[in-house]
Homo-oligomer: A and B are copies of this chain.
Amino acid sequence: MNIVETLSSIPLFLGLPENQLVELSRIVVDKRFKRGDIIFSEGDEGIGFYIVISGKIKIYKISPDGKEQILHILGAGEPFGEIALMGEQFYPAHAEAMDKSRIFFFPKVPFASLIKQNPSLALNMIAILFFRLHEFTVMIESLSLKDVPTRLADYLIYLSERNGGVSELKLDIPKTQLANLLGTIPETLSRIFAKMTKQGLIKTDGPNIKILDYHALKELSTAEKRLSDIGELF
Residues of A at the B interface (CB closer than 8 Å) are 61-65, 67, 69, 71, 82-83, 85-86, 92-93, 115-116, 119, 122-123, 125-127, 129-130, 132-134, 136-141, 143-146, 183, 223-225
With a cutoff of 8 Å between Cβ atoms, the chain B residues found around residue A132 in the complex are 133
In the complex, the answer to whether B136 meets A133 with C-beta atoms within 8 Å is yes
In the complex, the answer to whether A134 meets B61 with C-beta atoms within 8 Å is no
User: Which 8 A-B pairs have CB atoms at the shortest separation, nearest pair first?
Assistant: A64-B224, A63-B145, A129-B129, A136-B136, A69-B144, A122-B122, A144-B183, A143-B143
With a cutoff of 8 Å between Cβ atoms, the chain B residues found around residue A61 in the complex are 137, 140-141, 144-145
Query: Of residues A63, A116, A137, which shows the largest number of chain B Cβ atoms within 10 Å of its Cβ?
Result: A137
A183 to B144, CA, bound (A): 6
Selected from B69, B115, B127, B145, the residue in CB contact (under 8 A) with A141 is B69
- For residue A100, give the distance in angstroms from its CB to the closest CB of chain B: 27
A65 to B223, CA, bound (A): 10
- For residue A63, give the distance in angstroms from its CB to the closest CB of chain B: 4
* Contacts beyond the supplied A61-B140, A93-B137: 4 A-B pairs with Cβ under 8 Å: A65-B224, A71-B140, A86-B130, A115-B126
- Known A-B contacts A69-B140, A116-B123; the reply to A83 vs B129 at CB < 8 A is no
A225 to B117, CA, bound (A): 48
A115 to B123, CA, bound (A): 9
A139 to B93, CA, bound (A): 13
In the complex, the answer to whether A140 meets B141 with C-beta atoms within 8 Å is no
Can you name the residue of chain B whose Cβ is closest to the Cβ of A87?
B127
With a cutoff of 8 Å between Cβ atoms, the chain B residues found around residue A143 in the complex are 140, 143-144, 183
- For residue A60, give the distance in angstroms from its CB to the closest CB of chain B: 10
In the complex, the answer to whether A92 meets B137 with C-beta atoms within 8 Å is yes
